[in-house]
Structure formats: structure tokens, C-alpha cells
Amino acid sequence: MDKVDFLVIGVGGQGTILASDVLALTGLALGYEVKKSETHGMSQRGGSVDSHVRWGSEVHSPLAEIGTVDYIISFEVLETARWVNYLRPGGTILINEHRIRPLMVGLGEAQYPSDEALLEAFRARADRVYLLPCLAAAQELGNVRTMNVVLLGALSELMGMEPDPWLQVIEQRVPARFVELNRRAFARGRELAQS
Amino acid sequence: MKQLLSGNAAVALGAYHGGIRVAAAYPGTPSTEILEHYAAYPGVYAEWSPNEKVALDTAIGAAYAGANAMSTMKHVGVNVAADALFYASMTGVPGSLVIITADDPGMHSSQNEQDNRNYAKFAKLPMLEPSDSQEAYDFVQQAMHLSHQFETPVFLRLTTRVCHSYTVVDVPEGEEALPPAPPAEPPRWCRDIPRYVMVPSNARRRHPAIEQRLKDLAEWAETADVNRIEPGDPAIGIITGGIAYEHAKEVLPGASYLKLGMSYPLPRHKILEFAASVDQVVVIEGLDPFWEEQVRLMGVDCQGKLDEELFPLWGEFSPDVVRAGLAQAGFVAPAAALPDVMSRLPDLPPRPPVLCPGCPHRGVFHVLKKLKLVVFGDIGCYSLGVTPPLSIIDTCGCMGAGIGQLHGAEKAGLADKAVAVIGDSTFFHTGMPALLNVAYNRGAELVIIMDNRTTAMTGHQEHPGTGRTLQREDTVSVDTAEMARAMGVRHVTVVDPYDLKATETAIREGLNADEPAAVVTLAPCALRVPRKPALVIDPERCNGCGLCLRVGCLAIYRVSEDEARIDPLLCTGCTVCQQVCARKAIKVVAE
């Protein structure tokens, strides 16, 4: 692979930063040049957040261009839609099945789009769209915070990659007492992507 | 050793390795993490000052005493510190002083997107600007050396995408990584009255020296490594720097480049030499045409954003923006025209930042809305009170502005009942002189200090009210109510903002007082205290009236015309919705 561009999408507070950290460090371990750009500040108060992660033989900008991203990894169903134009035709979208109501939807003044409408639109750009119950899997594992690692496990499978470089990075990045739990979360993600 | 570091972390590490020993700052996105990283290194002194001006004066004092010092701030912080900036330019420093300005093109977390390269020209100071984390690490040290060499404060300008992007830094290891040893003897004051006492007679003598310093710096810039020519296709020569350089290299890697690591002053001969070596010159820079204007004054015919309008004067640059401009001039192919996927979807509900569930500000805003008040706002989490359905903030300009605005409006005879709201950190920052003014000039005005005992929006930094320093030492905890009293406000009430009745009473009394009044709504930030059990809505009692929805809490949602529900994962049990429910339908879950 000459280059791989990822966009990690979510809502402030969902823990997208750990996922983009692991993605960036895995790319480095695989020998790529890596750049990553993330959202801080106001948006972290429940707003939309995005991280660009870029692997390549040569990477200049920390931001990918519209229509060139290979993988969108989304922590929240609706948020995927705001960024779908960044995907290259034929790219892959991986979505955690979790819907967080924006305030206007809770007030009954706006509609949360239906899965059908969203998936139909995503498929107009993407070759592969996966809506996986990563949050539910993390809940089954007994710790919702492992949701991002379930998602990374699924991504590694969809990329056709071996688990080892990912797991090595995850082990460095999480506290020792959570290593075993995160290994299981990663394996669960791979299973979800296979099914 | 290669490490993936954010620009902010790289600046902190570079400052530590380079021997910067004293640093002062006020938190502000995107600069905040620099001091947080730096404060963790051994043998350094770092502090959160109450505001950027105090921070810069502190760093100047350290540099006057011969130390290597720095002060970090967001772009608008330099406005607050500008008075100090200009005298420091006049006096120069015997130690070294690096002033870090973190600009926010695109206004991710700011009220404007001012281009602080203009401050370098305005204050007649040199400015370095890195493009990635490696340069952030290198340039902070380069800035320190430049400061020593020319006895001048030196700006280091960062932008959001440099601060918060992670790129590889080659970090020295072992002995190389150790900062130089501090001086064995404590510094002695070197009296130099003509230099450091800027009374007019001395200042008049200093000004020519400052002009000469700029000429010397421009000479230095001609041969400095930070300004680098990268020969390529001679058909197009790109003059650029900062993050715009990375975007340009992404889009047009084969062009000839003059990469400016020093944003001011510019290397005239190098620019002329570069321009002569290429067929056409394009200047690529975010925000203002700061370089383009100077390059044109040198007599170079170039394209950019002044006449050709290849690039916008506002917004954040990206590879997309750079490609669109270069494509317009015919230098690159335009981006492939892909069908807009978004157009296949209905309008998406927006997801702006909002007050967190359980936020102590929510109940106060509910009361202000109920009382139909005009609300002069300020900078902080409470600016989120502008989001519907609360929509209760009428102004938000800069730190400390709301109280003065209220005072002026009242003195102008404003017929509407009005209040000012300000957070605790902002009160200490610039709210205090404004409240002092209300008391001194007999404004019968009500100021609400929304005291959540932290600097919340930037990520919970310490301040003079928290009882802890940046370096985690115990210190005084200044009481905002006592402070208001000490400044001459006699009508001061402290209330629990989760008690809506008490809050309303205190605000009504404050409004009716025929003298300066302050209400302190005191409760810690909801993100820093344990949650209480979630509340539930009894569907039998709920008739869907929507009163609870109007407090604007993410945890409450409508399920039908005649029913609302509470999301137990989000609810913190703050009880604000329970207090507004007219049908007593909201209850604590039995454990």
C-alpha cells in the first residue's frame, strides 16, 4: 500500500482519540510516515469531532483531501454522514452502531435520519459499508470503554491485516490491568467484521 | 529516538531541552497543552497566571533577571498582553524571551481568526513559524538563541493544525537530551536605567536601536537555515510557510519552493533571487496577505490573494483550498468532480457543542430566561448558553467584556432589565477591574459570577480560586464573593445554582437592589464531581408539555406528542428538570 488515509469520526467525549492514537502508532510500527490531526477545545463539549490519520511513504499535510480517504471509522451513525464526501469512491466505511441524539432531535424539532437513508447514501460512494454492534460487544465484555478497541479489531480484519502490530501498540497504550480485556475486545471486533 | 508528538508537546520538550527555565501562560485553545506538558519536566518553573498580560510581564521579568523564559497564549491572548509586548520590544531582554502565539484559523474555538504575524511587524519583533512538530521542537530553541543573539523578545507562531497535529520528532537521547546546567550563582540585577526605564527621554533614544535591530534581523534571515529554497520545476515558484507549506507540498510536490521559517522580517535578497529563478511566483499563506504585500513591495510580480484571488482571506487552509487556488491558475488539475453524497440526504440535524448534562450553569440560564433578561455574556463554557433552546446570551466578545458592556448599557439608560454573566477564571482574568468599575462608578447593576471552581472550557486548568498551582502545589484559594465585597460591592449573595428557587430569589433581589450587586452561583463543574442517581419521568404523569425540554439538556428527549424520557446513561441527577416540571412527573430512581 502506497498510502492509507483514515478519518475517525465521533461525538466529543466518545473516546475517538485513543483509536486515532493506536491507528497512528500502528502505521509507524509498519514503517509508514504518519501524520495525525485531531479536534480539541470547544467541540469536545458534545460536538462533532474528527481525526485525520494518514499513512504513506511520504506525507506532507496532516489533512486528507475530500474524495481521497480510504477508511472512515465512525463512532456514531449520523456523524458518518457529515464526512462521507471525504471518502474516495470505492472506499470503506466502518460504523459503530450507536446513535446519540443531537439536542434538536431530543427536542422533537429535527429528525434523526433513518438507517435506510444513511446507508443508501453511504453506498453511493463506498464499496463496503459495515454497521457493526461494537458498543453492544463492549457492553458484553463488561466495559463500554473497550468499544474503540472492538472497532479497531474490526478495522484490522477489513484491512486484511494480522492482529500483531495492532495488539503491540494497544498493549503499550492501555494500563497493564486492562491488556487482557482489550485483547478480547480486539478479537471480538475481528469476529464481528468476519460475520 | 523517533516519537510521534503533537506540535504543542514538541514545543514543550524543545523548550525544556533548550534550557528555558521559566514559563507563564493563561490557558487558551489551541495553546493550552504547551504549559501542561512543560510543567511536568524537572527543574523548570511554570505557572498559570491570571491573564496573558500578567503572564508576559512575568516572563519578561525572568528574562530581565537573565533567565531563558517563555510565555504561551492563544492569538487573542496577545491582545491582552499587547501593552507588555510593546515595552518589551523597546527594552529588549538580557536573558531570552520566547513569546508563543497559537493562532486559530477557522475559529475552531475562538471569537476571531486574527493573523498574529501582524503583531511581529507592529511590535517590530522577529517571528519564527514551524510547519510540523519537528520544526516546533527545533524552532523554539532557535527562537531562544535568536533572542540571546539580538537581545530581543522573539515570537514563535503556531496555528491550530500545528498545535494539534502529531508528526514524528527525532528526540535526542541520553546526555544530549539534558538541558544545559543552570547558572551556579543566582542572577544579580544589572542596573541599566536608560535601557529598562521607558520614560520618554529614554524611550526616544531606544527607538532607533529597535529599527537597527530589525535591519540586523533581516540580514540574519538572508542566510538562516529556517528560510530554505527547495529547487524544483522552474515554471512555478511557491513562497509559503507554516502549515500552508505542508498543504502546498501535498498538492504540488514538484514545484520550486521558498519555505519561510521566519515569518518576519523577510529575507529580501533571498526572495528576489528565488523569484528570478522561476517563471511565475505564487504566494501561499493562510488568512492575511502578509507576505504577499511585502513581496509585491519588493517589486516581485506574484499571484496570491490580493488581485488574483486564488486563495481566500478567511477560513482554515487545507489541501482542498490550496488545490482549488492552484487549479484556478492552471498549475494543477482540479479535484475530481465527485457526486455530492450529502445531497442524497435530508438536512442533517446539527451537533454544536452544548452545556453538558448536569452543568451548574443550566439552572441559572433557565432563571434568566424566565425573567426575560438581557444577558451580557463572556468567554467560557457559559457562552454555550447561546445554543437553542436556551438562546440566552446576548453578547460574547472577549474575556472580561460582559461586565463593562452591562455598565455602559445601563449608563446609557437601557430600558430592559439586564445582567452580566462571567465565569470564575474569566473573573480573575479581566472581570475584576470591570466589577471594580461598577462599584466605583455607582452602577446599580447585577453581575452573576458563575463559579464552577475551574477553567472548564479549556480542560479544567487551575486558577487563583482552585487552591492549586499548575505544578500541583497547594496555594491560596481566592473566594469570588469576598473579592467582590473587597472591591466595594456590598450586595453580594452566594447561591447553589441547582436550587432554582434560591437562584431566582437571589437574582431578583440583586436586580432590585439600588446599588452594585453580585450573585455568585457556586457549584463545581459537573465533569469533576460524582454523578447522582439518574432521574426518570413517570409516563403516567408526563403529558409531553415540554417544560423540561426547554432547559436544553442532552439527557432529556421527546418520544411522542405527550411523553418525554430521560436517558439514564447521560443523566447526572442534577434535578433542574425535576424542579421545572409542573406535573411533578420527574423522580429519582429507587436504588
Q: Between B109, B344, B387, which is nearest A121 by CB?
A: B344
pLDDT score at B266 = 98
In Å, how far from its chain's centre is CA B446? 28
Is residue B282 a contact partner of residue B326, using CB atoms and an 8 Å limit? yes
Distance from CA of B145 to the nearest CA of A (A): 28
Stretch B531-535: mean pLDDT = 95
Reported as a single tens digit per residue, the pLDDT across B124-148 is 999 999 999 999 999 999 999 999 9
Residue A89 contacts B where some CB pair is shorter than 8 Å: yes
Q: What is the DSSP letter of B480?
A: H
Q: Identify whether residues B52 and B162 lie together within a single domain.
A: yes
Task: Identify residue B196 by its one-letter amino acid code.
Answer: Y
Are B519 and B408 found together in one domain? Answer: yes
Size of interface A-B (CB pairs under 8 A): 178
- Asked if B351 is an interface residue toward chain A (Cβ–Cβ < 8 A), one would say yes
Give B54-96 pLDDT, tens digit per residue: 999 999 999 999 999 999 999 999 999 999 999 999 999 999 9
> Looking at the domain assignment, is residue B386 inside a domain?
yes
Does the distance separating the beta carbons of A40 and B109 come in below 8 Å?
Answer: yes
Evaluate whether residue B343 is within a structural domain.
no
Task: Give the residues across from B101 on adjacent strands.
Answer: B73, B157
* CB spacing of B558 vs A34 below 8 angstroms: no
Over chain A, what is the mean pLDDT?
Answer: 94
Would you state the pLDDT for residue B542? 97
> By percentage, how much of chain A surpasses pLDDT 90?
89
Would you call B341 and A125 a contact, using CB atoms and an 8 Å cutoff? yes
Confidence of residue A46 (pLDDT cuts 50, 70, 90): confident
Q: Is residue B467 part of a domain?
A: yes
Answer yes or no: do B166 and A60 touch at CB < 8 A. Answer: no
What's the rounded mean pLDDT across residues B373-384?
96
Arithmetic mean of pLDDT, B398-404 = 98
Q: Which of B196, B222, B248 is the last residue of a domain?
A: B222
- Say which residue the cell 443508501 belongs to: A120
Tell whether B570 and B453 lie within a shared domain: no
Average pLDDT over residues B154-182: 94
Tens digit of each residue's pLDDT (9 = 90 or more) over B461-483: 999 999 999 999 999 999 999 99
The distance of A97 to chain B (nearest Cα, Å) reads: 16
Q: CA nearest A67 in B: which residue?
A: B338
Contacts of A25 in chain B (CB under 8 A): 4
Q: Is B232 in the same domain as B218?
A: no
Grid cell listed for B524: 463545581
Measured from the Cβ of residue B135, the count of other Cβ atoms closer than 10 Å reads: 24
pLDDT computed for residue B177 by the predictor: 83
For residue A43, what pLDDT is reported? 66
Please answer yes or no on whether A85 and B341 come within 8 Å at the CB atom: yes
- State the average pLDDT over residues B509-531: 97
Band the pLDDT of A39: cuts 50, 70, 90.
confident
Task: Judge contact between B559 and B539, C-beta under 8 A.
Answer: no
Tell me what pLDDT residue B401 has: 98
Percent of the residues in chain A that have a pLDDT greater than 70, as a whole number: 98
d(CA B273, CA B290) in angstroms, rounded, equals: 20
Task: Give the residue from B3, B159, B348, B563 with the most A CB atoms within 10 Å of its CB, the best one to mutate.
Answer: B348
What pLDDT, in 10s, does the model give residues B452-466? 999 999 999 999 999
Q: Among partner residues B109, B336, B345, which is closest to A81 by beta-carbon distance?
A: B345
Are A81 and B323 a contacting pair at CB < 8 A?
A: no
**B137 and B56, same domain (yes or no):** yes
CATH code of the domain covering residue A103: 3.40.920.10
> Residue B174: pLDDT band by 50, 70, 90 thresholds?
confident
Any CB–CB contact under 8 A between B584 and chain A?
no
B335, B344, B557 member nearest A65 (Cβ): B335
- Closest in A11, A40, A84 to B164, CB measured: A40
- Residues of the domain holding A133: 3-194
Check whether residue B554 and residue B421 sit in a common domain: no
How many percent of chain B have pLDDT more than 70? 99
- Backbone Cα Rg of chain B: 27
For the segment A116-141, what is each residue's pLDDT rounded down to a tens digit? 999 999 999 999 999 999 999 999 99
Q: Hey, which residues 505-564 in chain B have their CB within 8 Å of chain A?
A: 546, 549, 552, 554, 556-558
Residues of A in contact with B37 (CB under 8 A): none
CA distance B369 to B578: 17
Domain limits for position B178: 2-222
H or E element in which residue B519 lies? strand B517-522
Residues B217 and B242 in one domain: no
Q: How many residues does chain A have?
A: 195
Confidence band, pLDDT 50/70/90 cuts, at residue B405: very high
The cell numbers describing B166, all together, are 502529531
Considering the domain architecture, whether residues B176 and B269 belong to the same structural domain is answered as no
Say what the pLDDT of residue B342 is. 86
Nearest to A47 among B348, B353, B388 (CB): B353
Cell numbers that stand for B37 in this block? 506538558
Backbone angles phi, psi at A73, to 5 degrees: -115, 110
d(CA B242, CA B163): 11
Q: In angstroms, how far is CA A53 from the centroid of its own chain?
A: 10
Q: What is the average pLDDT score of chain B?
A: 96
Q: Which of residues 433-492 of B touch A (CB under 8 A)?
A: 457-459
Closest CA to B552 of B353, B354, B351: B354
The distance of B551 to chain A (nearest Cα, Å) reads: 10
Residues of A with CB below 8 A from B354's CB? 45-47, 103
When pLDDT is cut at 50, 70 and 90, the band that residue B590 belongs to is low
Chain A residues lying within 8 Å of B527, measured CB to CB: none
| CB-CB under 8 Å, B349 with A102 | yes
Amino acid at B338: L
CB B555 within 8 A of CB B576: no
Same-domain status, B395 and B521:
yes
pLDDT digits (tens, 9 = 90+) for B144-154: 999 999 999 99
CATH number for the domain including B574? 3.30.70.20
**Tens digit of pLDDT for each residue in B309-350?**
899 999 999 999 999 999 999 999 999 899 999 888 889 999
The number of domains in chain B is 4
pLDDT over 90 for what percent of chain B?
A: 95
Is B345 among the domain residues? Answer: no
What are the chain A neighbours of B346 within 8 Å (beta carbons)? Answer: 111, 113, 117
Domain's final residue, options B528, B556, B577:
B528
- Number of compact structural domains in chain A: 1
Q: Is the Cβ pair A67, B335 closer than 8 Å?
A: yes
User: For the residues B392-417, what does the mean pLDDT come to?
Assistant: 97
**What is the pLDDT, as a whole number, of residue A12?**
84
Residue holding cell 439514564? B568
Q: Measured between CB atoms, does A117 come within 8 Å of chain B? A: yes
Is residue B591's pLDDT more than 60? no
- Helix H or strand E encompassing A25: helix A16-29
Cβ contact, residue pair B342, A45, below 8 Å: no
> What is the pLDDT confidence band of residue A14, given thresholds at 50, 70 and 90?
confident
pLDDT tens digits, B175-233: 888 899 988 899 999 999 999 999 999 999 999 999 999 999 999 999 999 999 999 99
- Domain assignment of residue B356, yes or no: no
B56 and B176: one domain? yes
Between the CA atoms of B366, B369, B374 and B380, what dihedral angle is there, to the nearest 10 degrees? 30
Q: Which of B32, B134, B166 to mutate to test the interface with A (most CBs of A within 10 A)?
A: B166
State whether B72 and B199 are in the same domain. yes
Disruptive mutation site among A22, A30, A42 for chain B (greatest number of B CBs within 10 Å): A42
- Chain B residue numbers with beta carbons less than 8 Å from the beta carbon of A83 are none
Judgement on whether residues B413 and B292 belong to the same structural domain of the protein? no
Instruction: Identify whether B265 is part of a domain.
Output: yes
* pTM, entire model: 0.97
Query: Which of B581, B571, B579 lies closest to B535, judged by CA?
Result: B571
Task: Check A42 against B346: CB less than 8 A apart.
Answer: no
- Residues paired with residue B262 on neighbouring β-strands, in sequence order: B128
DSSP notation for B90-147: HH--SSEEEEEEEE-TT-SS-S----THHHHHHHT--EE--SSHHHHHHHHHHHHHHH
In A, residues 127-186, which contact B (CB 8 Å cutoff)?
Answer: none
Tell whether B1 lies on the interface with A, counting CB pairs under 8 A.
Answer: no
Q: For residues B405 and B390, what is the distance between their CA atoms, to the nearest angstrom?
A: 21
Enter the ipTM.
Answer: 0.96
